[in-house]
């Protein structure tokens, strides 16, 4: 089972794919969006980046039939300018960023992204990361944990969760962490009470907001005039960063005044898409 690409029709229409177009999928994951881009026009080419080597291996197999029309590189999108230049994708007609985590990563043994498995607390997207979830959980101060849970997890009961984590140290596995959160928050409804905690720790481990900030600046540099920037975010801090960059950049024209959510039908078929929000801008002429 592949990760189901989110807002797929909306992404394709926003990119306005042209026959000789050159596209950068900053978060290629299992290649769902890239495959659809390459299928949209037989003349276009795509460069896919990902920090995750195992996601790239899946994408490589899936996209093999496209031959030279696709290039894949194990790199953070923070370095997309260098990667685009190296692989002949500079300047680009479109840049796509589909932030967050894939179903494959959630399901993969040993990654530590899911509270539904009992794995070591890792949560790094790529092996180069220096901080592990275990470091955050066992060594951050209670105060720092509260801030992370509030800001990156939007967890309204951050203080209680942070206190419980500190009291239960050392925590070694995702199962132990999920249990601590469940005990303190209780459980009702379909969404696991540790969802926000896991999201917050993952964002901290991977420094996702800082990287997004750098990545958006790189995207402006890589796009040609008229090129499209399409970003799908999964929580409000990410979305705010995207909104502010798009509004305040003198070299972008905002196309989506309000973010585009998935349709009710998409959420029904793929509940993981529920928090997705897509924003689109066009690169204007003029230097940076």
Ligand X SMILES: C[S@@+](CC[C@H](N)C(=O)[O-])C[C@H]1O[C@@H](n2cnc3c(N)ncnc32)[C@H](O)[C@@H]1O
Residue with tokens 């303190």: 184
The window from 21-29, 132-140, 220-228, 248-256 that contacts ligand X (CB under 6 A) reads: 21-29
Q: How far is CA 36 from the centre of its chain?
A: 18
Q: Shortest Cβ distance from residue 81 to ligand X (Å)?
A: 13
If one asks whether residue 31 binds ligand X (CB under 6 A), the answer comes out as yes
| Residue 94 lies near ligand X (rule: CB under 6 A) | no
Residue 10 as a binder of ligand X (CB under 6 A): the answer is no
Pick from 23, 66, 113, 125: which binds ligand X (CB under 6 A)? 125
Distance between CA atoms of 62 and 127, rounded to whole angstroms? 22
Does 49 contact ligand X by CB under 6 A?
yes
Rank residues 23 and 125 by Cβ distance to ligand X and give the closer one. 125
Q: What is the rounded CA–CA span in Å between residue 150 and residue 52?
A: 27
66 contributes a contact to ligand X by CB under 6 A: no
Q: Which range of residues in 23-31, 148-156, 183-191, 260-268 is near ligand X by CB under 6 A?
A: 23-31
CA–CA dist 234, 230 (Å, integer):
14
Which residues in the chain belong to E strands, given as ranges?
22-25, 45-50, 70-74, 92-98, 223-233, 252-254, 277-283
The interface region with ligand X, picked from 46-54, 160-168, 171-179, 235-243 by CB under 6 A, is: 46-54
| Cβ contacts of 25 within 8 Å, gap of 6 or more | 33, 34, 37, 46, 47, 48, 49, 96, 98
Binding piece for ligand X, criterion CB under 6 A, among 99-107, 130-138, 166-174, 222-230 = 99-107
- 27 counts as binding ligand X under rule CB under 6 A: yes
Query: Minimal distance in Å, beta carbon 281 to ligand X?
Result: 19
Among 71, 76, 150, 153, contact with ligand X (rule: CB under 6 A) = 76
Among 51, 71, 111, 202, binds ligand X (CB under 6 A): 51
| Cα–Cα distance, 74 to 28 (Å, whole number) | 10
Q: Are 170 and 186 in contact (CB under 8 A)?
A: no
Rule CB under 6 A: is residue 102 a binding residue for ligand X? yes
| Contacts of ligand X in 176-235 (CB under 6 A) | 211
Let me know: does 77 contact 54? Beta carbons within 8 Å.
no
- In what order do the strands lie in the sheet containing 277-283? 70-74, 45-50, 22-25, 92-98, 223-233, 277-283, 252-254
- Residues near ligand X (CB under 6 A) are 3, 5, 26-27, 29-33, 49-52, 55, 76-78, 98, 100-102, 125, 211
């Amino acid at each position: 089972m592949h990760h189901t690409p989110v807002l797929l029709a909306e992404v394709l229409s926003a990119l306005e794919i042209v026959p000789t177009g050159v596209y950068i999928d900053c978060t290629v994951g299992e290649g769902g969006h890239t495959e659809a881009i390459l299928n949209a026009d037989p003349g276009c080419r795509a460069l896919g980046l990902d920090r995750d080597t195992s996601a790239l291996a899946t994408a490589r197999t899936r996209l093999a039939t496209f031959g030279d029309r696709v290039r894949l590189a194990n790199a953070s999108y923070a370095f997309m300018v260098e990667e685009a230049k190296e692989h002949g994708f500079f300047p680009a007609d479109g840049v796509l960023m589909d932030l967050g985590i894939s179903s494959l990563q959630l399901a993969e043994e040993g990654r530590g992204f899911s509270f539904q498995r009992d794995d070591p607390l890792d949560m790094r997207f790529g092996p180069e990361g220096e901080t592990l979830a275990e470091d955050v959980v066992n060594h951050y101060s209670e105060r720092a944990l509260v801030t992370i849970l509030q800001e990156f997890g939007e967890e309204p009961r951050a203080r209680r969760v942070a206190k419980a984590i500190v009291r239960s140290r050392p925590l070694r596995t995702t199962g132990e962490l999920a249990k601590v959160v469940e005990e303190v928050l209780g459980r009702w409804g379909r969404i696991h009470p540790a969802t926000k905690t896991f999201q917050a720790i993952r964002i901290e481990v991977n420094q996702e907001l800082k990287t997004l900030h750098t990545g958006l600046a790189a995207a402006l540099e890589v796009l040609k005039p008229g090129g499209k920037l399409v970003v799908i975010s999964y929580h409000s801090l990410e979305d705010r960063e995207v909104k502010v960059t798009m509004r305040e950049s003198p070299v972008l024209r905002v196309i989506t005044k309000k973010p585009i959510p998935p349709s009710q039908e998409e959420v029904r078929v793929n509940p993981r898409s529920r928090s997705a929000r897509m924003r689109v801008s066009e690169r204007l002429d003029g230097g940076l």
